[in-house]
Chain A
Amino acid sequence: MSFISLMGALEIGLIFALVALGVLISFRILNFPDLTADGSFPLGGAVAATLISGGHDPWLSCAIAAVAGAMSGWVTAWLNVRLNILQLLASILVMIALYSINLRIMGAPNVPLLGEATVFTPFIGEGGDSAYWIQPMVLVAVVIAVKLGLDAFFASQSGLALRATGANPRMARAQGISTNRYTLAGMALSNALIALGGALYVQTQGGADISMGVGTIVIGLAAVIIGETLIPSRNLWIITLATVLGAILYRLFIALALTADFIGLQAQDLNLITAVLVGFALVLPMLKAKLRRASGAK
């Protein structure tokens, strides 16, 4: 694998680290199985690409994309807590609705960003030769900032209330925590991060495409699971770190599998590789325990 393709994998890995942190909030912290990601990731991309190609500031476009993502997460949660629609079903409804909404926002199945100024443009010198390593570095800064921000939030009074809402809603209510309100806010935060990932993704890929969201949730979940398998911990700042590393490792595995010619895999095998990887990550803890038992029996 060349250095450039390594940096490319790192770049996408970092973007999916944001997605994975969003998935961590919905699936793990709020205990809310949420598939909105497949719609909110392209939503972020659609909003950002449309605004940027319309000449707006790229950072502002990212912020607005995140707000749009937050609204989509909020709607999913609202369908669940107010209308009592099953969590998975509520998120599928929103995901499907977002497909139409994204098409409306973009006005076409894709919006190219070639030649437009992105958030990365100010950091890249003349000619753009350095883009392949500058872009990942900018993303590292963004991901670190988001991770530290989340860590601080989870240790705050509201963050603790959010964790209690997911872990033990009855106890949370007895402590005066409105579990409905925290579910709405937590889901908004989760999908804001996922949409931010989408907004940054289109700026590294040269444009938005209506089908860019397919499988987002699986990749996010894969990153979370790989992270917690490799670095099992109950400590939240370690869990967020593991999630970020899980997302990067996942992309590196994929890049490795695709570039290793002797395996003979091609780009269309991506989803198959993902399924195998997640499956492996899921049984790894069991294998570990078996190995430990075997060595203990000796």
Chain B
Amino acid sequence: MMHAQGLTKTFNPGTPIENRALRGLDLHIETGQFVTVIGSNGAGKSTFLNAISGDLLVDSGSIHIDSQDVTRLNAWQRAGLVARVFQDPMAGTCEGLTIEENLALAWQRGEKRGFGRAVRPELRDMFREKLARLKLGLENRLSDRMGLLSGGQRQAVSLLMASLKPSRILLLDEHTAALDPKTAGFVLELTDQIVAEQKLTALMVTHSMRQALDHGERTIMLHQGRVVLDVAGSERANMDVPDLLAMFERTRGEAVSDDALLLG
């Protein structure tokens, strides 16, 4: 369960470039729910995700994950509860480290790290088995550096890393945006599979209305730092991209001009 209430965040307050990224955002996500998030550029999607992960602290409002108030905790303190996959394939992994070392880092997400060997034989076997399920041939490349992998492969490994240890919420920040359509499709399919298998609570930001409707079970739209649209169940099941677009225009009373929203 994730509960965000009245989140506000203003960048550069009191200056000409003041940006009110979040303006009282409320959102409640039940345990096991897979929510997709859409919104135009500057709607506050990334800020919202960074606020949940602790990468930035909100100015006011509160965030609860399960029963725990995490509002004032920073990113590394929340890591035991929050798993995430970044938009940039370079951001979620260490390219100088090997595949198995990256997985070993994720294997201890949010746990105390000691002086024992990080990559033990039994861990290596487990990593190999998990990598084999990606069907990318990575199970034979455990000691290859991460930097040798393609963007799609890196995102697939990032996804695996995020799901290696249980989390209370999985954050996916446009994690297929930097990939070609075919690879993006593969990574999305993998996402669905992992979320369903582990019954994860997940929040996926996407630029594509198509993706937002095709994945997950609930879709919200952000605009000017607030949730302006929230659809689920049969209402959502009967929806198509033009319906979503029309609903958005009705809610805001203005035409959507951002082409990016129409894509997909």
Interface residues of A (CB under 8 A from B): 153, 155-161, 163-164, 167-168, 170-179, 234
Contact call B110/A176, Cβ cutoff below 8 A: yes
Partner of A178, one of B76, B105, B145: B76
State the Cβ distance, B127 to closest chain A Cβ, in Å: 14
Stretch from B87-95, B184-192, B218-226 that touches the partner = B87-95
Contact call A173/B76, Cβ cutoff below 8 A: yes
Q: Does B109 contact A (CB under 8 A)?
A: yes
In whole angstroms, what is the CA distance A153 to B119 when docked? 12
Contact call B79/A173, Cβ cutoff below 8 A: yes
Contact A176 to B119, CB < 8 A, known contacts A160-B97, A161-B113, A167-B95: no
Chain A residues with CB under 8 A of B86:
170-171, 174
Q: Does B106 contact A (CB under 8 A)?
A: yes
What 3 pairs across the A-B complex have the smallest Cβ distances?
A176-B79, A176-B110, A157-B113
In whole angstroms, what is the CA distance A178 to B79 when docked? 10
State the Cβ distance, B17 to closest chain A Cβ, in Å: 21
Interface Cβ pair total, 8 Å cutoff: 93
**B-side interface mostly:** loop
Contact call A156/B114, Cβ cutoff below 8 A: yes
Partner of A161, one of B74, B105, B110, B119: B105
Contact A176 to B93, CB < 8 A, known contacts A153-B115, A155-B118, A158-B115: no
Chain B residues with CB under 8 A of A167:
94-97
Chain A residues with CB under 8 A of B74:
173
Q: Does B84 contact A (CB under 8 A)?
A: yes
Contact call B91/A175, Cβ cutoff below 8 A: no
Q: Does B80 contact A (CB under 8 A)?
A: yes
Contact A175 to B79, CB < 8 A, known contacts A156-B116, A157-B116, A161-B113: yes
Q: Does B29 contact A (CB under 8 A)?
A: no
Contact call A157/B96, Cβ cutoff below 8 A: no
Contact call A174/B97, Cβ cutoff below 8 A: no
Contact call A174/B84, Cβ cutoff below 8 A: yes
Contact call B117/A176, Cβ cutoff below 8 A: no
Q: Does B111 contact A (CB under 8 A)?
A: yes
CB-based nearest B residue for A176: B79
User: What are 30 A-B interface contacts by the 8 Å CB criterion?
Assistant: A155-B117, A157-B104, A157-B115, A158-B113, A158-B115, A159-B118, A160-B105, A160-B113, A161-B113, A163-B101, A164-B94, A164-B97, A171-B91, A171-B92, A171-B93, A171-B94, A173-B74, A173-B76, A174-B75, A174-B82, A174-B83, A174-B109, A175-B76, A175-B105, A175-B109, A176-B109, A177-B105, A177-B113, A178-B76, A234-B145
State the Cβ distance, A172 to closest chain B Cβ, in Å: 8
Contact call B114/A163, Cβ cutoff below 8 A: no
Chain B residues with CB under 8 A of A159:
115, 118
Chain B residues with CB under 8 A of A174:
53, 75-76, 79, 82-84, 86, 92, 109
State the Cβ distance, B99 to closest chain A Cβ, in Å: 13
Convert B35-62 into 0s and 1s, putting 1 for each residue whose CB lies closer than 8 angstroms to a CB of A.
0000000000000000001010000000
In whole angstroms, what is the CA distance A155 to B101 when docked? 9
Chain B residues with CB under 8 A of A234:
96, 145
Contact call B91/A170, Cβ cutoff below 8 A: yes
In whole angstroms, what is the CA distance A179 to B105 when docked? 13
Most buried by A among B76, B86, B97, B115: B76
Docked complex: B107-150 residues within 8 A CB-CB of A: 108-111, 113-119, 145
State the Cβ distance, A94 to closest chain B Cβ, in Å: 26
Most buried by A among B74, B91, B118: B118
In whole angstroms, what is the CA distance A172 to B111 when docked? 12
Contact call B115/A168, Cβ cutoff below 8 A: no
Contact call A158/B114, Cβ cutoff below 8 A: yes
In whole angstroms, what is the CA distance A275 to B253 when docked? 67
Contact call B93/A173, Cβ cutoff below 8 A: no
Chain B residues with CB under 8 A of A178:
76
Chain A residues with CB under 8 A of B75:
173-174
